[in-house]
Amino acid sequence: MAQHKSAKKRARQNLERRARNRQVRSRLKTAIKYARVAIAGSDGAAASDALRKAEREIRKAASKGVLSKTQASRRVSRLAHSLAAKS
């Protein structure tokens, strides 16, 4: 375990950041899952709405540093392409 005061503080910060990143990543995965299910379904309006929500979560995760900006763009692009291919 950490001995110095600064190392103890760093360990505390890492725990808090890990918890926050796990929450963001979980919300992101859920939004993407809902979008994929909606795109696979027959309702185009619901799929479009789910895609919009998923894109918002993806962009948020990128702004918080959970995803890189390029990975976020790639994920949004792939979802959008799959929606376009269905309609």
Q: Domain total for the chain? A: 1
The yes-or-no verdict on residue 1 having pLDDT over 90 is no
Q: What is the pLDDT of residues 22-31, one digit of tens each?
A: 999 999 999 9
**Domain around 52:** 5-86
> Is residue 86 a contact partner of residue 62, using CB atoms and an 8 Å limit?
no
Look up residue 21 and give its two tokens. Answer: 């990143």
Nearest to 65 by CA among 31, 25, 7, 13: 25
pTM over 0.75: yes
Dist CA 44 CA 59 (whole Å): 22
- What pLDDT is stored for residue 70 in this prediction? 98
| Domain CATH number, residue 11 | 1.20.58.110
Q: What is the pLDDT of residues 33-84, one digit of tens each?
A: 999 999 999 898 999 999 999 999 999 999 999 999 999 999 999 999 999 9
- What pLDDT is stored for residue 2 in this prediction? 84
> Is residue 47 a contact partner of residue 35, using CB atoms and an 8 Å limit?
yes
